A and B are shown apart, each in its own frame.
Chain A
């Protein structure tokens, strides 16, 4: 066995250029695979993370998926003998009834859940003679930290300032820009009920979505309740699950229990999730193409080497080497190329990943500097190594089998050197 490995190594080292070419093929294939897949995987994670983090996993709102029908209508369906025309849906009182009970129920169902009641109201900001419509999210400030990612997007001030100051408000950066508002300015907000109150700006956030940044604001729950004149009411429950990917099933189950509409993030952004699914298919097609080309390179080189080595194979056989031993020689070469290719290719891939991480740019017309998202998961490394090794061994095996089957007579008799 040592002799066979010795012969394999000698042949590889002796044919420096060819060995190098096939090595470079494997190295580049592995390196590019790792870089591309980490980038694609990273951007997918990034995208989903934005989607999952920036929106509630489930929103329970004070609506019903289907408007509730009058009891009379339920009793006499439209195809019955008596038909009552012009029935309207039942008039519902606004707000979620018994939201405290629902919250208790949810906490039992998923112990890791983060849940918060919200009263969402509409209002107008009035500042320096300008009006701007605004959505008022009335929340318990501590809950804002738990169920939203606004804290990460704060550019000035913080949620903590809101906790300590009940007349504070947190607004978006776009609103601040259009109205020339600064931290510490006071603004008056008029709710749809006509009530007006003065709030002091204690924080400014910027998510990058301008409609969100101009429209949304966060306030104390009690203040919003008094502004819109609905004491002790909440009209939404925002839920963050311990596993966001359970949201669809979870929402379906709770909706059956509480009757109010449960909207999971998957349901509210179905179109985007479909886009991701298509993008994934495209990514794997591209990456597989890279690897198939690399594998074909290995096959090509080793099979050329075997053809050029027919004479040596014949002479080794005439010396008494078994077909199996000849196969081992060429298989060893494939394995060595594969191992060496991975050993250089993986660090190369990591280097690619690092340099991709250094790229920072501002998308045209954008306001934020963004970075390439890179995924450092171990899976893609394992996939790359597995593929490179399989490709090298397979690419070497086919020519090796051919080498083992060489009949010395056919080669030696010709005699051509």
Chain B
């Protein structure tokens, strides 16, 4: 085994990651998680309700802060960064897909996908537009570009949300129950997209799910029980 090469290929690494909710009776959401995720892997986090899988996902996605422990993404320690620095990383390196599409209702599908790119501000308006178009077309939404979220079906909305997550070409995509609200056909579609992204485009995908089909389709599953890692 060429261990050096493999080590360089680790994109997410945690050490003793814990999250405790303050209060009169402190609640431990996750406890001492140690894991390494390699680039280009499609990983699912599974476990019963309340096992802390979403908590773990949000901490990995820099939307929440761990109480103790270390989180290294792409070789950098994240726990020492300021809120704004974390915002910048979310903007450029991370994409999110949620159970509900959370598209902005005032904007068309195309504009929703353009938003993160405009926020990043690296490309010109025209380039942003053509990239957003390409992304949506590659997800089979050629005819839905100028529709507002209200006019889209659940599956279509979720694909727009995936396109939006991919907008800034992020290294990692975090997904929270992305198929929880979809029928089996749309679910299969999303699974297919995630598989292709990981295999052909070297994107790392970390997704929380309790859908067995979805979990089986991934490279491997991380199983959480009561905030503790059970098996990988």
Contact = CB atoms under 8 A, between A and B. Distances in A.
B91 A413 contact: no
Contact of A412 (B84, B119, B176): B176
Contact of A409 (B58, B84, B104, B180): B58
Given A10-B107, A320-B116, A412 B98 contact: yes
A226 interface: no
Contacts of A311: 102
B92 interface: yes
Interface residues of A, number: 26
B158 to A, nearest CB: 12
B118 A315 contact: no
B99 interface: yes
B87 interface: yes
Dominant secondary structure at the A interface = helix
Interface in A364-417: 407-409, 412-413, 415-417
Given A412-B98, A413-B54, A320 B104 contact: no
Interface in B58-104: 58, 61, 63-64, 83-84, 87-92, 96, 98-100, 102, 104
Contacts of A7: 104, 106
Interface residues of B, number: 31
B90 A319 contact: yes
A322 interface: yes
Contacts, number: 71
A14 B148 CA distance: 11
A16 to B, nearest CB: 11
B63 A318 contact: yes
Given A10-B107, A413-B54, A415-B100, A323 B116 contact: no
Contacts of A319: 90-91, 96, 115-116, 119, 164
Interface string B178-201: 001000000000000000000000
A105 interface: no
Contact of A312 (B88, B90, B104, B180): B104
A414 to B, nearest CB: 10
A99 to B, nearest CB: 81
Contact of B90 (A13, A14, A318, A413): A318
Contacts of A407: 64
Contacts of A416: 100
Contacts of A320: 87-92, 116, 119-120
9 contacts: A13-B106, A315-B102, A318-B61, A319-B119, A319-B164, A320-B120, A323-B83, A415-B100, A415-B177
